[in-house]
Structure formats: C-alpha cells, structure tokens
C-alpha cells in the first residue's frame, strides 16, 4: 500500500487511483523566459522520482506537464531584447527540454503548450460565465471567488479573513483593480494591452490568465477527476487554489483527487528564486557536477522538506554516489577476474538475504510518502554489507552468478530513484581526448574534461542553429562525427551516439 501526503487533507492517505492500475498526474511546468535554476529542478526531479517509483510498483502512469509560453515575464524579456515573445518562449522551451534531459528527468507523456490551447481556454471561460462563476469587465473576465464555496480549502485559508486583508490594503489605496466586483476575484482572461500577444475572444482581443491554462490542459489531457496534481509548495496559493476553484466550479466535480507539493530548495535558509537573484542555473551546475550527484543530493532530503543547497553538500553527495559506483565496479572486476572452474567462496544465502532485506526496506520507505532518504539508507547499508562480505578477496567462478544478482538489485533500485550507477561506464568520461582540441578550435573551449567539451559543443551547436549559422552548426557535427561521435537530434534534444 502506497501512502502519500495530500496537501488538502493535511495528512498521509492511501493512494487509491481512480482508474485501477493507472495513475494520472499533472505537474505544473515552467514559464519559459529563462534557464531553470536548481530550485525548479528540485521540484521536477521530485516528481520524476515519484513517477518512476509508481511505474516500478506496476502502475501505468500518465504524466502531463505544461509549458507556460505566454506571460508578462516572457513579454518583458522580449521587449528588452527587441524580439517577439514567441521567439523568447520557443528558445527557452527548447533549453528547458535539453536541461531536463541532461538531468535525467523523463520527458512527460504529454507536454501541452498554453499558446496552442487558447480555444479550449476560451471555451472554459465561457462555461464559467454561463454558470455564473465568472463575469466580464471591460474586456477582462474575472472568476467570482465567492461563487465557489470550497475556496481556500486547499491552502487552508479563510475567505473572510482574506477579504478583510484586502480591505485593509484597499484602505491604503493598494491592491485593488477597480474592474473587479470583489477584491478576492482573479482574472481568467485579460484584455490585451497594446503591443502584447493576443487572441480574439468573445470579450475582445486578450490572453488567458495563468491559472486557467493549467485547469484546461489538465482536464483536456487527463480527464476529470484525475489522480495527482503536483508542483512546488510555492504554487499552493494562489495558483493551485485558483486552478481548483475554477475547475471544480466549471465541472461540478472534483478536479484532482490528491495534491502533492515539494518543498523549496534554499540557499542560506532563503528560497532560491529568480527574483531574489540567489539562484544557480541547472545547466551551469551540470557543467561542473554529474547529474547523478545532483540527484543524489536531492534524494538525501525528503521531497516535502526544505533542502539547503551548498557546494559542500553537493560534493558530499558526489562522494556518496562514488561509493555506490565503486561497489558496482568492484563486483564487475571480481566477476571478470574469477578463475574459470573455481569453487564458490561466498555465502550465497547471506547474499540473497541481504538483497531481500534491501528490497523490503526500499519498498517500505518509498511506500511511505516516497521517503527517498530512508530508501537510500537501505541502499547504503547494503553496499557496506557487500563490501564487508567481499573484503579484499578474489571470488570463485561459482560466485559469479550470485554476485551479478547482488549487483542487479543495487542497480535496479538506484535506477528507480533515477540514478544510473552504470552511466559513467557507458558514456561520459571516456570520450576521446581529441574532443578537447576540436572544442578549442571551434568554440574556444578552455577546459580539460572531454565530457564538458562535448556538452559545450552541443550547446554551441544549438546556439548556431538558432542563429541560422549553418556552417558552424555543421562544422561541429562533422567534427564530432570524425571522432566517431554521431549527433542525433531527438525530441528530447541532442544525443551522442557512438
């Protein structure tokens, strides 16, 4: 039985999916005006881990994540750069997808983009107006918060208290848009301002409000109700409260059965955010650290707790990861060097019992609201036990099968957490050293790590293609091909094949 913490009920509850054997989840995606930081990545990695675990437990998971590609921040960025908002959005959408791929976050099953779903949003706004839950005011449309009795239940807020808070602000001349009938109401459709992207609607040209986007995309791609709605805890209010209110008002049914929220990644006890300027971009961190180490760091804190990021903790996570990788390498080496025909020297029953304990502990931990730190605890104890059992001795050919099975459990369960213990063995560190010279010639790369050179070349190729600098883009591809590294363009971004 899997238990998860439901934000709305404020307790752990048993996961009972609406459709047997299936879990349908929606996790709010990014607003694409910037590269994502490791705080954003924490939320996406948390839900990626939850998704992988549910799959491992046998559920068919349908995972939907939107791209918010129309927003004030995108428009501002476009105005600063003197380009179209759509160009900003498409550039950062591609970079987001590439960053997630590099962080080994599985792509969603469906990735709708807000600007491609405007018709459905207009229909939903019409539905809200028809049912008396929304009203038009000079080209804007507002959701009437008082028309939906459940408002505040998700975030634990009292509507009357909120109202008096608004009245105080209002008395100070703050916080009220006069087109609203009630200060609590929020926009589901915004009249276009000059120079902004807009779409025709029954209320004149305009664009959707942020909350309505997710309401529409979740309903369209998952059906209502669906099982799990997720996001960072900073989205509980107002975003998720508003999504829920308008969706439940429009359909007269439950929107999401469970609400899950991941805790904030912090730096010096302060939330990492673009506006505070205390952020570290994911791709920059991944230029210095392997993705598995960053994931290890994330997993070491429960997904609902705040996570304090520091370079030291990241370095420690890297060391912890290496301990696991080393165990795998040791086993491989022992198996390769076992004398043909030699007798088994290891206690097979003990190996089997250790693996069974690991499986139990891992599953119990993850069943209990996805307690990855506890699950990691079992994995590390297992590695210590194995190391103790193996010591410095060589093994017999008769041990190989048992030892391979012992390794397989470790690789499988870390894989469920999104860490590929054999990643380093397959690719990454062992690119030919010649890529350093290639990267230096083509893009002035000054580092000394072949894997970083390859990443830098791939980034430069993306930039060159965007700038329509085909000579540079092709030069990079051909140069890599001469070293036996074939660049493949996939929907998830570029990938190197040997």
Comparing CB distances to ligand AMP, the nearer of 244 and 477 is 244
- For the stretch 377-382, contacts whose Cβ atoms lie closer than 8 Å and that sit 24 or more positions apart, written own/partner, are 379/324, 379/410, 379/413, 379/414, 380/320, 380/323, 380/324, 382/354, 382/355, 382/357, 382/358, 382/409, 382/410
| Shortest Cβ 239–Zn ion spacing (Å) | 5
User: Which does residue 214 touch among ligand AMP, Zn ion, none (CB within 5 to 8 A, set by kind)?
Assistant: Zn ion
Phi and psi at 343, nearest 5°, equal -80, 155
| Shortest Cβ 184–Zn ion spacing (Å) | 20
Comparing CB distances to ligand AMP, the nearer of 207 and 477 is 207
Is residue 382 within 8 Å of residue 410, measured between CB atoms?
yes
Comparing CB distances to ligand AMP, the nearer of 234 and 368 is 234
**What distances in angstroms separate CA 162 from CA 167, 168, 239, 243, 244, one per listed residue?**
9, 10, 15, 18, 17
Phi and psi at 122, nearest 5°, equal -60, -40
| Shortest Cβ 5–ligand AMP spacing (Å) | 16
- 302 touches ligand AMP (CB under 6 A): no
Structure tokens of 43?
Answer: 């939320």
- 66 touches ligand AMP (CB under 6 A): no
User: Which does residue 42 touch among ligand AMP, Zn ion, none (CB within 5 to 8 A, set by kind)?
Assistant: ligand AMP
Q: How far apart are CA 199 and CA 466, in angstroms?
A: 27
- 273 touches ligand AMP (CB under 6 A): yes
Contacts of 85 by beta carbon, 8 Å cutoff, 6+ apart? 70, 74, 75, 77, 78, 196, 197
- 317 touches ligand AMP (CB under 6 A): no
User: Which does residue 273 touch among Zn ion, ligand AMP, none (CB within 5 to 8 A, set by kind)?
Assistant: ligand AMP
Comparing CB distances to Zn ion, the nearer of 28 and 250 is 28
User: Quick one: which segment of 34-42, 173-181, 192-200, 401-409 binds ligand AMP (CB under 6 A)?
Assistant: 34-42
Q: Which of 234, 287, 352, 469 binds ligand AMP (CB under 6 A)?
A: 234
Comparing CB distances to Zn ion, the nearer of 28 and 187 is 28
Q: Where are the alpha helices (DSSP H) in 392-469?
A: 400-416, 423-426, 434-443, 450-466
Residue located via tokens 């986007």 = 213
Phi and psi at 42, nearest 5°, equal -60, -45
- 30 touches ligand AMP (CB under 6 A): yes
Q: Regarding beta strands 140-143 and 493-497, do their DSSP bridges make them parallel or antiparallel, or are they unpaired?
A: unpaired
- 108 touches ligand AMP (CB under 6 A): no
Is residue 365 within 8 Å of residue 447, measured between CB atoms?
no
- 72 touches ligand AMP (CB under 6 A): no
Comparing CB distances to ligand AMP, the nearer of 272 and 375 is 272
User: Which does residue 272 touch among Zn ion, ligand AMP, none (CB within 5 to 8 A, set by kind)?
Assistant: ligand AMP
| Shortest Cβ 163–Zn ion spacing (Å) | 24
Nearest to 288 by CA among 426, 445, 449: 449
Q: What is the dihedral of CA 442, 443, 449, 450, to 10 degrees?
A: -40
Within positions 10 to 29, which residues make up the interface with ligand AMP, using CB under 6 A?
28
| Shortest Cβ 233–Zn ion spacing (Å) | 13
| Shortest Cβ 276–ligand AMP spacing (Å) | 9
Residue located via tokens 């955010």 = 273
- 282 touches ligand AMP (CB under 6 A): no
Nearest to ligand AMP by Cβ — which residue? 232
- 232 touches ligand AMP (CB under 6 A): yes
Comparing CB distances to Zn ion, the nearer of 214 and 320 is 214
364 to 403: interface string for ligand AMP, x by CB under 6 A: ----------------------------------------
Q: What is the dihedral of CA 376, 7, 217, 206, to 10 degrees?
A: -130
Is residue 338 within 8 Å of residue 400, measured between CB atoms?
yes
Comparing CB distances to ligand AMP, the nearer of 42 and 461 is 42
| Shortest Cβ 225–Zn ion spacing (Å) | 16
The DSSP line for 345-376 is: -S-HHHHHHHHHHHHHHHHHHHHBT--HHHHH
- 218 touches ligand AMP (CB under 6 A): no
| Shortest Cβ 74–ligand AMP spacing (Å) | 11
Give the residues lining the site for Zn ion (CB under 5 A): 28, 214
Comparing CB distances to Zn ion, the nearer of 204 and 238 is 238
Comparing CB distances to Zn ion, the nearer of 214 and 267 is 214
* Residue 171 CB-half CA count within 13 A: 6
Q: Which of 183, 231, 450, 493 binds ligand AMP (CB under 6 A)?
A: 231
Q: Which of 51, 257, 271, 283 binds ligand AMP (CB under 6 A)?
A: 271
Comparing CB distances to ligand AMP, the nearer of 311 and 429 is 311
- 40 touches ligand AMP (CB under 6 A): yes
Sign of CA dihedral 71, 72, 74, 78: positive
CA angle 110/112/115 to nearest 5° reads: 170
Name the site residues for ligand AMP (rule: CB under 6 A). Answer: 28, 30-31, 39-40, 42-43, 231-232, 234-235, 264-265, 271-273
């Amino acid at each position: 039985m899997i238990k998860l913490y439901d934000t709305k009920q404020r307790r752990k509850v048993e996961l009972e999916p609406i459709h047997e054997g299936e879990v349908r989840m929606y996790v709010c995606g990014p607003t694409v005006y910037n590269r994502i930081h490791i705080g954003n990545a924490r939320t996406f990695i948390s839900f990626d881990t939850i998704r992988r675990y549910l799959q491992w437990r046998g559920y068919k998971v349908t995972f939907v994540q939107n791209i918010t590609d129309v927003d004030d921040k995108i428009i501002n960025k476009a105005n600063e750069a003197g380009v179209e908002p759509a160009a900003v959005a498409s550039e950062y959408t591609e970079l987001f997808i590439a960053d997630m791929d590099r962080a080994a976050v599985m792509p969603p099953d469906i990735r709708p983009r807000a600007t491609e779903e405007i018709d459905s949003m207009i229909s939903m706004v019409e539905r809200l107006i028809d049912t008396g839950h929304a009203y038009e005011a000079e080209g804007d449309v507002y959701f009437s918060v008082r028309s939906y009795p459940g408002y505040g239940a998700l975030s634990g807020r009292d509507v009357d208290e909120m109202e008096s808070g608004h009245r105080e602000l209002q008395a100070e001349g703050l916080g009220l848009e006069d087109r609203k009938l009630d200060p609590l109401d929020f926009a589901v459709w915004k009249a276009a301002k000059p120079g902004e992207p807009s779409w025709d609607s029954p209320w004149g040209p305009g664009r959707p409000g942020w909350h309505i986007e997710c309401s529409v995309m979740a309903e369209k791609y998952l059906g209502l109700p669906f099982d799990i709605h997720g996001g960072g805890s900073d989205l509980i209010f107002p975003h998720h409260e508003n999504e829920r209110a308008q969706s439940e008002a429009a359909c007269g049914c439950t929107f999401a059965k469970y609400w899950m929220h991941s805790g904030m990644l912090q730096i010096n006890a302060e939330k990492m955010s673009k506006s505070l300027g205390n952020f570290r971009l994911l791709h920059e961190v991944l230029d210095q650290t392997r993705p598995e180490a960053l994931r290890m760091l994330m997993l070491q804190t429960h997904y609902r707790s705040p996570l304090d990021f520091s370079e030291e903790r990241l370095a420690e996570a890297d060391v912890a990861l290496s301990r696991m990788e080393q165990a795998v390498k040791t086993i491989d080496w022992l198996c390769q060097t076992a004398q043909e025909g030699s007798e088994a020297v290891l206690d097979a029953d003990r190996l089997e019992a250790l693996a069974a304990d690991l499986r139990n502990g891992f599953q119990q931990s993850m069943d209990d609201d996805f307690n990855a730190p506890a699950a990691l605890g079992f994995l590390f104890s297992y590695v210590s036990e194995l190391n103790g059992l193996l010591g410095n001795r060589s093994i017999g050919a008769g041990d190989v099968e048992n030892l391979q099975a012992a390794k397989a459990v470790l690789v499988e369960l870390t894989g469920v957490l999104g860490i590929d213990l054999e990643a380093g063995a397959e690719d990454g560190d062992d690119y030919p050293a010649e890529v350093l010279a290639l990267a230096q010639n083509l893009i002035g790369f000054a580092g000394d790590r072949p894997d970083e050179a390859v990443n830098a070349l791939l980034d430069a190729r993306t930039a060159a293609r965007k700038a329509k600098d085909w000579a540079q883009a092709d030069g990079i591809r051909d140069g890599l091909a001469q070293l036996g590294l074939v660049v493949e363009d996939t929907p998830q971004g570029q990938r190197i094949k040997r």
